Amino acid sequence: MLAKAGVASRRAAEEMIDSGRIEVDGVIVREQGLRIDPETAVIRVDGVRVVVRDEQVYLALNKPKGWQSTMSDEMGRPCVGDIVAERVTAGQRLFHVGRLDADTEGLLLLTNDGELAHRLMHPSYEVSKTYLATVNGEVDYRVVGKQLRDGIELEDGPAKVDKFVVLEVGNGKSLVKVVLHEGRKHIVRRLLAGVGHPVTALVRTHIGSIALGDQRPGTLRALGRDEIGKLYEAVSL
């Protein structure tokens, strides 16, 4: 199963077991050839969970600006479903983890792992999201940062950020980084508008430890073993 999951070759996996680096259901395993049920066993390598079920798919998409975060669109607008149409036709039942509004570009996760998706979207697990926003006005970090960290009152209740950084200021605009674990609709745009700096461009760069990196808009990539393990860890799976 370790070789199948891409952890290491069979020979290297045997050495990892001998070294006590493999854990099954919370117990270090040193026995070679131990039989496990991949559907139920929780396997960790150096503390990071390994997902070994064949049918599971974990993808990172850079959603382009102007595209809908839906698998189909009644009005014929471009949507996420168009990008993964071939996979869906081939029998993969994918769904997106949360949404990005049409005007926002950036990282969106797609999977068929229902339990992971549910937990990533559930507010109790507080998985952070990081955004880069271009806003109108030259932001005073001390004033705006304090307002956003302390929290402001929105029409559907108070909201605040976990971190706020001003990256660039000039020519009547600012580039800022916002980290928060809120999932309410248009939350970043509403927070920044609420402190007097409306958003003109918005990109989501991270979900938890998963980074968009230099992935181009409209492209997909499969998450690596370590990335999937960290997502599982973030939601206590």
Catalytic residue ranges: 101
Going by the DSSP 8-state scheme, the letter that residue 26 receives in this structure is T
Can you tell me the distance from the alpha carbon of 16 to that of 85, in angstroms, rounded to the nearest whole number?
39
Half-sphere exposure at residue 134, Cβ-oriented, CA atoms within 13 angstroms:
10
Task: Give me the torsion for CA of 206, 91, 219, 135, rounded to 10°.
Answer: -50
Report which residue type is found at 40.
T
Among residues 44, 95, 92, 106, the alpha carbon closest in space to that of 70 is found at 95
Cβ-based neighbour number of residue 1 at 10 Å? 17
**Sign of the Cα pseudo-torsion (74, 79, 80, 81, in order):** positive
Going by the DSSP 8-state scheme, the letter that residue 202 receives in this structure is E
Can you tell me the distance from the alpha carbon of 223 to that of 210, in angstroms, rounded to the nearest whole number?
8
Say which residues have a Cβ less than 8 Å from residue 111's Cβ, sequence separation at least 6: 56, 57, 58, 59, 94, 95, 97, 117
